[in-house]
Structure 1
Amino acid sequence: MGCLTHSKKTVNAIVDSGNHYVLQVKANQQALFKYLQAYSCENAFEDIYQVTEQTHGRLTQWIIKVYKLENQSIQQQWKQLKSFILIQKQVTQKGKKHTQQAQKEHLTQSLSYRISDLWLSAKEFSEGIRKHWGIENRLHWVKDVNYQEDNNRIKHQNIAVNMAIFNAISLNYLRQNVNDSIKYAQIIFGQNFKELCSNIRT
């Protein structure tokens, strides 16, 4: 989400087009953020769902809680707002083993809030949000890290759009023809430029 005013306009456009929204509330949206924070501490949730995932020595646990939002003042600002979602994320990561010492664990925790015009179960919200994270991690995060898109200083809108399209095409090409690791694929074709040109021609 961008600034508060722009987000409300975006929400109106989403609802008016017949679609739905699940939008993250940022800390800089102080009034709404503090209200959700206080409400979740003082009131019971309507539904809860828990997901645990273990990969590469890291144990990640998500607890998703759904709250019914019945604040007329806030609902007047956010079109057809019905619920908000609290996501508690806890990551336990094992550190390196030291001689004659037990393996240490590092624990990090975070909270985030989302608002929605939908009334779904905690599991349904969880599945939708996690799919969105998958897109972020597989596309937008990769484009930022490997192509430095967030540091792009192109000011002309058409050039910026064309560059983003080119990056997406090259990203898909590397995944389909070389390796799902974009960094590895870039190294391979960086060392075999003739092969890259040959594949593009075919």
Structure 2
Amino acid sequence: MFKCYQNECSRVTRICRWYKNQKIPDLCGGAEQLRFNYSETLDKGHGRTERRMAWVMEDLSDITEAAKWEGLQQVAMIQRDRQIGNKVTTEVHYYIMSKQLSAAEVLDIARKHWEVENKLHWRLDVAFGEDKNQTTNNCAIENFSILNRLALNIHTQDTETNESIKLKRLAAGWDNEKLEQLLSSIVLI
């Protein structure tokens, strides 16, 4: 499952939007004739309500550019509506897939991916203060992110101590022998 960003899949985006708009007036009876598999989840907790809806297009005959993606089997759209208090936000994401999946499976895979991303972001923010970084150069931001992830992986693999990543990072900054030990543990291919 590959997430389409910005204009990478603009044709797919337009088709998903058109099909979704056709389907909205008749959620119960129109899914088969519009060649969509549909699923929806609703989660409540932590002061918020989150509704996730997935539309998976199984017939790609309307996508003339589908041949550009070798092995393309399906196209999906996920809409996530989140309400916290009186504030409602909506996110829409588009995916192309090389495997046949039901809409429920697409929702599950996307949800698990979001959980992993959120946990990784939390770890990077706690250990490296990524949210406090005020770098404005896009290349520098990306380079720092790559270096932080590399350092996080190195510290995670270090099982010599049971300390937090933040403490391991500080120890490596204070002790050159510890830093040398961590850097020598990197396997270069």
TM-score w.r.t. the length of structure 2 is: 0.62
Specify the SS of the correspondent of 1:124: helix
TM-score w.r.t. the length of structure 1 is: 0.58
> 1:85 and 2:76 equivalent?
yes
Match of 1:119 in 2: 100
- Determine if contact 2:75/2:95 at 8 Å carries over to the other structure: yes
Match of 1:136 in 2: 117
- Determine if contact 1:46/1:66 at 8 Å carries over to the other structure: yes
Q: CA RMSD in A?
A: 3.9
Deviations 1:11-59 (A, max 9, x none): xxxxxxxxxxx11122323344223322433462532221122232111
> 1:110 and 2:100 equivalent?
no
Q: C-alpha displacement at 1:115, in angstroms?
A: 0.9
Match of 1:24 in 2: 3
Specify the SS of the correspondent of 2:41: strand
Distance 1:145 1:36 in 2: 38
- Determine if contact 2:40/2:51 at 8 Å carries over to the other structure: yes
> 1:54 and 2:39 equivalent?
no
- Determine if contact 2:74/2:96 at 8 Å carries over to the other structure: yes
Specify the SS of the correspondent of 1:153: helix
- Determine if contact 2:2/2:95 at 8 Å carries over to the other structure: yes
Q: Using the TM superposition, name which of 71-80 and 84-93 deviates more.
A: 71-80
Distance 1:81 1:138 in 2: 30
Identity %: 21
- Determine if contact 1:92/1:107 at 8 Å carries over to the other structure: yes
Q: Quickly say closer, same or farther: Cα 1:138–1:83, change in 2 above 3 A.
A: same
Deviations 1:102-130 (A, max 9, x none): xxx11112221111111111111121221
Q: Quickly say closer, same or farther: Cα 1:110–1:160, change in 2 above 3 A.
A: closer
- Determine if contact 2:12/2:63 at 8 Å carries over to the other structure: no
Distance 1:163 1:137 in 2: 15
- Determine if contact 2:66/2:72 at 8 Å carries over to the other structure: yes
Provide structure 1 residue ranges, at least 5 long, that are not aligned to the other structure.
1-21, 95-104, 180-184
Q: Number of aligned pairs? A: 155
Distance 1:59 1:37 in 2: 24
Distance 1:71 1:153 in 2: 41
Match of 1:168 in 2: 153
Q: Quickly say closer, same or farther: Cα 1:136–1:36, change in 2 above 3 A.
A: same
Specify the SS of the correspondent of 2:153: helix
Distance 1:154 1:48 in 2: 38
